[in-house]
Amino acid sequence: MPFADINDASIYYETHGEGEWLLFAHGGDGTHLGWWRQAYFFRNYYKCLIYDMRGLGQSTGAVNYEEGWRDLLGLMDHLEIENAHINGWSAGEWTVSKIAQDHPERVRSLIMTDAPFGFFTPALSKWSQGMIDQLTGGSTIRGMAGGAYFADHYPKDVFLSGLLGRLNEHNRPASSEEALQDYGKAYREWRDAEPGDYSDFPVPSLFVVGETDGLTVPWLMRGTAERVRGAKLAVIPRAGHGTPREQTEIYNALLLEFLQTVDQQRRDPTYVPPKWSLVEYFHGLSGIA
């Protein structure tokens, strides 16, 4: 089983497929297994890297989402990955957005799935105060995540997701009070942070959010994407906070189109993608201009 000694931690990872690199950073308290649907699909097009963040799954060390970028960058160096497409899901956004902002030469494209963490905007400030208010009022992060369509139509998949989730259940806040204790400091910092300037952001970016995501809500993702130069936004119907598993076929097709367009434009800067696209379709379907 492959492990890499990175920054005083032993990081478990797997690679699947061949070609240009496509890296996946999982969400809070998840593992590399959360990306199995994507690794299975994209291995036919890219060389996929999935891994366990420190302190989660089979990786050692103390959990630290905000510093996770150091481990992923170290893993890229370990595997001699010069540059790659990078995709973060939920808490994994801290990891990928930091690398894209501080080391854009290492990033072919950035995909922000179900969270905009790392981009400081008025929308993030407003959302952070809202999270403090909701958790203070007794709401739970799991309760806000949505996903009713998935639960109603794919009960076996929900059961499997629950089993996988329990692999790191000891790291998950058990109540709204614990969640506020764990994340309150970050929410207050984001609420009070000065907005960043992303008008010259050099990395092609795609923001994806579930239409019924009550956690990192669509207006938050829209408010972030609007401030990142050239960013595309896709709102996926009938999906909550888990679009990669809740609407897998749509999500994978959407990402594939985006990635292949980026690759084509790298080869030929004059390339103009087709007028109609999945990104534009889902953009318009949810009424976002």
Is 266 within a domain?
A: yes
Is 179 within a domain?
A: no
Is 151 within a domain?
A: no
Helix (H) or strand (E) run with residue 207 in it: strand 205-210
At residue 285, does pLDDT exceed 50?
Answer: no
The answer to which of 181-185, 232-236, 240-244, 279-283 has the lowest mean pLDDT is: 279-283
Question: What's the pLDDT score for residue 26?
Answer: 96
At residue 288, does pLDDT exceed 50?
Answer: no
Is 73 within a domain?
A: yes
Is 127 within a domain?
A: no
Please provide the average confidence, as pLDDT, over all residues in the chain: 91
Alpha helices in the chain (DSSP H): 36-42, 68-78, 93-102, 122-136, 141-144, 148-153, 155-165, 176-192, 218-225, 243-246, 248-267, 278-285
Question: What's the pLDDT score for residue 286?
Answer: 44
- pLDDT for 247-262, tens place per residue? 999 999 999 999 999 9
- pLDDT for 94-103, tens place per residue? 999 999 999 9
**182 band by pLDDT with thresholds 50, 70 and 90:** confident
Whole-prediction pTM value? 0.93
Is 165 within a domain?
A: no
**Number of folded domains that form the chain:** 1
**65 band by pLDDT with thresholds 50, 70 and 90:** confident
Question: What's the pLDDT score for residue 184?
Answer: 84
Is 133 within a domain?
A: no
Question: What's the pLDDT score for residue 206?
Answer: 95
Is 169 within a domain?
A: no
The domain of 29 spans 3-120+199-285
Q: What is the CATH number of the domain that holds 70?
A: 3.40.50.1820
